[in-house]
Amino acid sequence: DVIRRLESWKDEPVRGRLHRLKEQASALAKRLDKPELIVSIDGGEVRMPKDVMAPFWGSLTHVIRNSLDHGLESAAERAVAGKPENGRVEFLVKEQEDGYIITVSDDGRGIDWKKLATKAESKGLSTATQDDLVKALFADGISSKDEVSSISGRGVGMSAVAAACRRLGGKIEV
């Protein structure tokens, strides 16, 4: 354990990466005219190999974009839904014996599974099970947005996240 901890000192503390994600999310919320965003980050003292993890951290920009553009509602929509005006996003990193758990969550409307199923079926993808729908969520060319914007809707972001995760030997759970 001592040797492992000493070796980890050459790695990058994740709190810096999480802070940059927080800044990106807050800036994007302003750009989208969303209410001020409450962003929580917690990486503890976790350190990760910088060169190995850099592409993955970069891919998380797509998760932020989708969270804010697809999921988090406007102030008016949040009021109708009985939610606080300010949306919440949380980034957590935990180290386990066999790797890391990176969690991104928000208090938005959630994934529109019916719309995703319709889009996936139009591309010939199976939507028979929840597992099929999760695969469709990360498939290239699938987006539940009706319009493409500079923020989201092209159907490439979530597949990029999945690819970056797979390259690291990881898995995604929704």
Instruction: Tell me the pLDDT tens digit for each residue of 151-168.
Output: 776 777 899 999 999 999
Determine the Cα angle at 162 with ends 161 and 167, to 5°. Answer: 100
Average pLDDT, the chain: 91
Give the burial class of 98: count Cβ atoms within 10 A of its Cβ; 0-12 exposed, 13-18 middle, 19 or more buried.
exposed
Q: What is the pLDDT of residues 24-82, one digit of tens each?
A: 999 999 999 998 999 999 999 999 998 999 999 999 999 999 899 888 999 999 999 99
| Among the listed residues 85, 39, 44, the one whose alpha carbon sits nearest the alpha carbon of residue 60 | 39
- With a pLDDT cut of 70, the percent of the chain lying above it is 94
